[in-house]
Structure 1
Amino acid sequence: MTVTKEEVRVHAGELAEKIKEFIHEGNIRRIFVKNVHGHTVLEVPVTVGVVAFIAAPVVTAVGALAALAAEWSIEVERDEQGDGTA
């Protein structure tokens, strides 16, 4: 199994919804929320067994963060199978 990274840029209004999407994908290991300077302001380890448990508090925290700046980037670490599929 390989770990791949993906980074997407989002506006403040889209931040919480995009985090929810990533949490529910199931093959995500970690989510990093970074400011426009590239500094990590929130790091969330995502484990399959705790997805429902962490989703609500994480989205609440992300909503509070979104109010602080207009643009954010989200970096996700994914578990990939050997053939390149998730």
Structure 2
Amino acid sequence: MSIEQKTEARLRGEALVDKVRQLIHEGNVRRLIIKNDKGHTVMEIPVTAGVVAAIAAPVVTAIGAIAALAVDWSIEVERQGEQP
């Protein structure tokens, strides 16, 4: 049986882009939710193993563009993991 785990990190600028790039390449990430400094969702990225290569470049490019627009961003990461 699998369980869903959520974590959140606050990042700025290029650190946001690097973190998203890293998370997309992980195998157990289901969805990334990027929120602005006011807590409003700006982008939701469903990540599935079959389309990682197809979505990685345009997603990272879009995130790079929005990263310059605000000081703080938060990333909420939903992971699919095995129940212990």
The answer, yes or no, to whether TM exceeds 0.5 is yes
Structure 1 runs not aligned, ≥5 long? none
What amino acid is the match of 2:27? G
Q: Distance in 2 between matches of 1:70 and 1:18?
A: 16
Other-structure match for 2:9? 8
If the length of structure 1 is used for normalisation, what is the TM-score?
0.93
Q: Distance in 2 between matches of 1:4 and 1:35?
A: 21
What amino acid is the match of 1:26? G
Other-structure match for 1:38? 39
What amino acid is the match of 2:45? V
What amino acid is the match of 1:14? A
What amino acid is the match of 1:65? I
Other-structure match for 1:29? 30
If the length of structure 2 is used for normalisation, what is the TM-score?
0.96
| Length, aligned pairs only | 83
Q: Deviation string for 1:11-54 (max 9, x for gaps)? A: 11211110000000110000000001111000000000111111
What amino acid is the match of 2:67? A
Provide the secondary structure at the position in 2 that maps to 1:17.
Answer: helix
